[in-house]
């Protein structure tokens, strides 16, 4: 069974430029998460989807970040415009959505460097 | 506020045993997860504890004491490939995972 797929794996942009990340969750997983992880820290939740509905976006910086999950499968996370402090690894995770305590399975992440 | 504490770094010898501790203070408790994360890779699930006691899974075991807000991950017969960061995460009353900063484990021959 394929795991969570993310692209690109690496992205280098200049500040003020836009950037987008794509995630394809494990087949059949209804819940999808976007996290941001800085070096030497644990992941920080940005947004959680149940199917196509964003059920927790309280920690998403909405002035520059946006996300969508059309048709309740793939998802994209966008930053516009990017700032130097946005440099981090952006992780996507999915879980079956059958229980609130389901295990989350992570993709390889996108390492973003903003110059 | 919510807080997860674990040591920043630990060193152990190949073939030995190491215990990585995690203490937590969260708004509610719906279980504790341990994940392994190799450098530059995604976190991978190791264990889930929601009841007090020890859960054993091969060379890895995880212990939970809810009354003490404490967990540990025990790794036996250490191998070089066990060099990684180990992340402790608690699911709070809103079913959101609160993550520790991770413990970097260095295995020496």
User: pLDDT tens for residues B51-83?
Assistant: 999 999 999 999 999 999 999 999 999 999 999
Classify A70 as helix, strand or coil: helix
Interface test with B, best of A42, A47, A99, A105 (most B CBs within 10 A): A42
The nearest CA of chain B is from the CA of A102 a distance in Å of 10
Question: Please, are residues A30 and A99 in contact by the beta-carbon 8 Å criterion?
Answer: no
pLDDT for A68-92, tens place per residue? 998 889 999 999 999 999 999 999 9
Classify A71 as helix, strand or coil: helix
Q: Do B91 and A104 touch (CB under 8 A)?
A: no
Nearest to A49 by CA among A60, A61, A41, A62: A60
Look at phi and psi of residue A57 and say left if phi exceeds 0, alpha if psi is from -120 to 50, else beta: alpha
Q: Do B42 and A43 touch (CB under 8 A)?
A: no
- Average pLDDT of chain B, as a whole number: 96
CB contact set of B48 (below 8 Å; sequence gap of 6+)? A101, A103, B31, B32, B33, B55
**Whether pLDDT at A55 is above 70:** yes
The percent of residues above 90 in pLDDT, for chain B, comes to 94
**Whether pLDDT at A98 is above 90:** no
What is the average pLDDT across B78-102? 95
pLDDT of residue B74: 98
pLDDT of residue A1: 66
Question: Please, are residues B80 and B109 in contact by the beta-carbon 8 Å criterion?
Answer: yes
Instruction: State whether residue B33 sits within 8 Å of chain A by CB.
Output: yes
């Amino acid at each position: 069974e394929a795991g969570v797929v993310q692209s690109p794996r690496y992205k280098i942009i200049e500040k003020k430029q836009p950037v987008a990340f794509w995630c394809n969750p494990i087949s059949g997983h209804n819940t999808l998460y976007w996290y941001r992880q800085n070096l030497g820290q644990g992941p920080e939740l940005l947004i959680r989807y149940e199917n196509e509905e964003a059920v927790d976006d309280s920690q998403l910086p909405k002035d520059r970040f946006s996300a969508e999950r059309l048709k309740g499968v793939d998802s994209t996370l966008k930053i516009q415009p990017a700032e130097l402090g946005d440099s981090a690894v952006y992780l996507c995770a999915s879980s079956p959505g059958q229980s609130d305590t389901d295990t989350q399975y992570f993709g390889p992440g996108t390492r973003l460097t903003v110059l | 506020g919510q807080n997860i504490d674990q040591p920043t770094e630990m060193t152990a010898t190949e073939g030995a045993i190491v215990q990585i501790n995690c203490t937590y203070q969260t708004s509610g408790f719906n279980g504790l997860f341990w994940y392994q994360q190799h450098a530059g890779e995604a976190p991978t699930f190791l264990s889930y504890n929601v009841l007090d006691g020890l859960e054993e899974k091969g060379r890895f075991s995880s212990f939970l004491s809810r009354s003490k807000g404490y967990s540990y991950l025990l790794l036996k017969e250490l191998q070089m490939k066990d060099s990684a960061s180990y992340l402790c995460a608690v699911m709070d009353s809103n079913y959101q995972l609160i993550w520790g900063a991770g413990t970097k484990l260095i295995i020496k021959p």
